[in-house]
Amino acid sequence: MATLETQQLDEVIVNSRRKMLSLGTTALAGLALAGITRAANAQAATLTDADYLNFALNLEYLEANFYNLAVNGVTIDKLTTPIDITGTGTQGTVTVKPNFSAVPFTSTTIAAYAKETAIEEGKHVSFLRTALGMSAVAQPAINLVDSFNTLASGALGIAAFDPFASDANFLIGAFIFEDVGVTAYHGAAGSLTSTTNFGAAVGIHAVEAYHAGLVRTAINALDAGTGVLAGYTQKIAAFRSMLANPGGATTTTKTGIKADDIGIDNSQMVALQGTTATYASTTIIDADNNSIGFSRTPQQILAIVTGTSPTATTHTGVFFPAGLNGNVK
């Protein structure tokens, strides 16, 4: 039976995709290193590894703050051992709800996952800042309230959606982020000129893929066979694909849908070793019909994170209300 919490989540995800597209309230984060163009005032210049890494740093600021707020109740610059957020560009703050507190986890497993991920995303920020040195960009303004509330009130007709309210809400928020990062890193392989940076990018991609798989597995376990949360992930995946591909995706998912994203699906039935009996199969991996993970361009990632068109000349809004710092934004 649906609870008040699952009903609220259902309302958040199920309603108008068209309105969601116009508001652009998806997110997330990762490293987009392929096919990048500079901002309009610097398009003629050649991008450097530092430009790519700074774009990644903007997005890692978002993830690190989300997870540390969920676990520790504070932003990364307020941790017991603070993470530096200064640098070039306009430094911003993280907007959270009044009287903010960490997620009231009831599952020790989900809490442990969240804590580990918070540590790892913080390390990604520190690693990139060290690699960039004096070239590191400052943390831009990040909004973790209006981004979700715009979706809830403007697009879905309910007061708010709070990803920090419960285990289930947290997992839905994490699901929005993690798969985006994986697809972005996949698009990065050929863009870095330094073999050291290339190796680091591949290594971070692997960690983001671990995170995505862990989120999906946790959601599937929490679903307890009801299919409610799996249904939410399918709708989120379809929305992300729409934002990234306004004209329609050219790739085909494992389940035969034309898209570059797929949620958790428990409806697939398979026969084992030629028997007539069939068994339920869970689709955890976000991949195409060849079981190869999807890849997105930086413009597609920016469209998801800011709610703009991939072809827009300015990417501001949603999670980055003032845009990103650096030359890739």
For residue 276, the SS3 value is coil
Q: What is the pLDDT of residue 238?
A: 86
**Is residue 64 a part of any domain in this protein?**
yes
**Is residue 38 a part of any domain in this protein?**
yes
pLDDT tens-place string over residues 151-170: 644 334 456 778 999 999 99
**Is residue 140 a part of any domain in this protein?**
yes
pLDDT band for 13, please (50, 70, 90 cuts).
very low
Dmax (CA) of the chain: 64
Q: How far is CA 247 from the centre of its chain?
A: 22
What secondary structure letter does DSSP report for 82? P
Q: How far is CA 24 from the centre of its chain?
A: 13
Q: DSSP characters for 120-184? A: HHHHHHHHHHHHHGGGPBPP--EESSHHHHIIIIIITSSS---TTSSHHHHHHHHHHHHHHHHHH
Q: What is the pLDDT of residue 17?
A: 40
**pLDDT-wise least confident of 8-12, 70-74, 264-268:** 8-12
Q: DSSP characters for 83-124? A: PP---BS----EE--TT--------HHHHHHHHHHHHHHHHH
Distance set, CA 225 to CA 73, 110, 174, 266, 280 (Å): 31, 18, 20, 8, 11
**Is residue 322 a part of any domain in this protein?**
no
pLDDT tens-place string over residues 91-128: 999 999 999 999 999 999 999 999 999 999 999 999 99
- Domain span at 23: 4-252+293-306
Distance set, CA 254 to CA 26, 153, 214, 264, 294 (Å): 22, 33, 19, 11, 11
**Is residue 125 a part of any domain in this protein?**
yes
Q: What is the pLDDT of residue 7?
A: 47
| pTM of the predicted model as reported, rounded to 2 decimal places | 0.83
Question: What is the mean predicted confidence (pLDDT) over 81-94?
Answer: 98
Q: What is the pLDDT of residue 11?
A: 46
Contact predicate 32/297, CB 8 Å:
yes
**Is residue 321 a part of any domain in this protein?**
no
**Is residue 32 a part of any domain in this protein?**
yes
Of 164, 144, 151, 143, which Cα lies nearest the Cα of 14? Answer: 151
Distance set, CA 299 to CA 15, 28, 38, 120 (Å): 26, 13, 11, 26
Domain count, the chain: 1
**Is residue 59 a part of any domain in this protein?**
yes
